[in-house]
Structure 1
Amino acid sequence: MELRQLEYFVAVAEEANFTRAAARVHVVQSAVSTTIKNLERELGTPLLERTPKRVLLTDAGAALLPRAHAALDAAREAADAVAEVRGGLSGTLRLGAIATVGLIDLPVFLGEFHRRHPGVFLQTSAAPSGSQGLIEALLERRLDLAFVSGPGPCPIGITLTDLATSVLDLVVPADHPLAKRRSVSITELAGLDFVDFPLGYSNRTVADRAFDAASVPRRVAIEITDLTTGVDYVRNGLGVALLPRVALGQGRDVATLTVVDADLDWQFSLASPSDRAPGPAARAVIAMAHEMLRRG
């Protein structure tokens, strides 16, 4: 049994599709199919059930999957340990990221990391469904580390390294009736149209919990996935928004107010799976994130 066979098997099991698995491991589909068939022949049993729409695990495949993960993790940790002794990091680190709203400039961060650790291939992917999507990817072992944010307790199976905390401030147009004030009660916000992130994004979760706790109804008129876009919608009179204070700066044609009687704390963290310790490359990412936030 070879590590390459286990890598291809894990890819097919997680993608539930041979074509996507082949793209993930950067080989042609026929190579993946042949490798899996050889593994099944060696083990003497089918590992995958091929259907017209998707690929499913057999009972034997389901038994092999966590052990294949463990074997691949052990091999990666062994290579990392040797590289660390030699004085340079290497390997691949799969990093997920939300829009980090000004706390960390991701292109600058990735560029600096590459200059410091050129031997590490930092494979970065965005979050199509916010922090929740990244947490799921970590639990499914499709990511090694992820920048996430959100309220509440740490999800089961995930370890959070806290990086920074901010407060969601109310952002209103400069000509809004509340614009001259410095603070507001959450009860005064009933009936306003809000610009907010979709369900699953941490900003939305923090705001929804605060309004639910105060028994204040809230209407989201426009959904966004980009902080700058949110400020633009507010600036043009299309609603108000709750956005992280640390990322707002001095917005033109808008005013910011503190919501004095609501829990609107927003936490920014690095998340990793709890069932395996971060490797040297992951630890280097965590250390550099702390360093850049101190500088910033």
Structure 2
Amino acid sequence: MELRQLECFVAVAEESSFTRAAARLHVVQSAVSATIASLERELDSRLLERTSRRVELSEAGRVLLPKARAVLDAARDARDAVDDANGGVRGTLRIGTMSSLGQIDLPSLLGRFHREHPAVFVHLATAASCGGSPGLVEALTEGRLDLAFVSIPGPPPVGVRWEDITRTPLDLVVPPGHRLADQSRVALGELAGEGFIDFPVGYGNRAVTDRVFAAAGLSRHVVVEITAIGDGADFVRHGLGVALLPRGSAEPGSDLVSLPVTGADLDWPISLAMRSDRTPSAAARAFQRLVGKHLW
């Protein structure tokens, strides 16, 4: 049994697809199929059930998966130890990120990380491609990501832990002619009946807002869904609705009015999430230290 065989098996198991596993491993799909077939012959057992839509683990595959991950983790730790002895961190670091991180300057962080660890290749996955923060967490638990910037109110799910980085209040943003524009602040109940511009279900901002309205027993109508904070301000500017956006999204002196909302916990949390049941790689640990040094 070779590490490459186990690597292919874990990739197919986590991606539920030979095609996506091949892309992840940077090889052709036929090579992945041949490697899995050789592993199944060696173990004299079918590890994967192929259907027309997806690939699923057989009973033997479910038994092998945690053992295969443990072997690959041990091999990675051995490489990390040698790299550390030689004074460098190597490998690939897969980071998930939301489309907006508020005041967190991710390009600056990644630039600093690259200067400190030039031998690490960083691969970024966005919430838009994964289905919001829940999708990023799922990719994390399935082993497709090493770390992820997420925004999910409440405690982390089983198998995941996260460290809070920042919390930003969500303010109501309205155009100048709006009925609430002349107020200095607004109560949550005054927002009933408004048409909202918001993120899709699953995004951190949306989760915070939905929870607050549900707790207050208020209904809310979302008229436009966006995936970028800047788009929200533009839609408000053109009279398509109001929005609850991170404080500072409407710059002072702009043609928009930003109002704090009273009587509601509208803080938008951003956390760095990681697996709690697997030891992070040296590259992941190095990035965590960088985030801790510059953001916490």
Give TM-score scaled by structure 1 length. 0.94
Mapped partners of 1:230, 1:83: distance in 2: 45
- Tell me whether 245-254 or 214-223 shows the greater mean CA deviation: 245-254
| Residue deviations 1:9-41 (CA, integer Å, cap 9, x gap) | 111222222222212211112211111111111
Amino acid at match of 1:213: A
Query: What residue in structure 1 maps to residue 147 of structure 2?
Result: 145
Mapped partners of 2:253, 2:47: distance in 1: 56
Mapped partners of 1:174, 1:2: distance in 2: 66
C-alpha displacement of 1:182? 1.8
Mapped partners of 1:11, 1:190: distance in 2: 48
Residues 59-98 of structure 1 mapped to structure 2, 5 A cutoff: 59-98=59-98
Query: What residue in structure 2 maps to residue 29 of structure 1?
Result: 29
Residues 51-66 of structure 1 mapped to structure 2, 5 A cutoff: 51-66=51-66
- Tell me whether 101-110 or 20-29 shows the greater mean CA deviation: 101-110
Helix, strand or coil at the partner of 1:266: strand
Query: What residue in structure 2 maps to residue 39 of structure 1?
Result: 39
Identity of aligned residues (%): 58
Helix, strand or coil at the partner of 1:123: strand
Query: What residue in structure 2 maps to residue 227 of structure 1?
Result: 229
1:130 aligns to 2:132 (yes or no) = yes
| Residue deviations 1:138-187 (CA, integer Å, cap 9, x gap) | 11111110011121122221111111111111111122121122211100
Structure 2, unmatched stretches of 5+, are: none
Give TM-score scaled by structure 2 length. 0.94
> Using a 3 Å threshold, how does the CA distance of structure 1 residues 101 and 156 change in structure 2: closer, same or farther?
same
Residues 177-256 of structure 1 mapped to structure 2, 5 A cutoff: 177-245=179-247, 247-250=249-252, 252-256=254-258
C-alpha displacement of 1:280? 2.7
Count of equivalent residues: 294
> Using a 3 Å threshold, how does the CA distance of structure 1 residues 6 and 250 change in structure 2: closer, same or farther?
farther
C-alpha displacement of 1:71? 1.3
> Using a 3 Å threshold, how does the CA distance of structure 1 residues 279 and 246 change in structure 2: closer, same or farther?
farther
Mapped partners of 2:291, 2:249: distance in 1: 16
What is the alpha-carbon root mean square deviation over aligned residues? 1.7
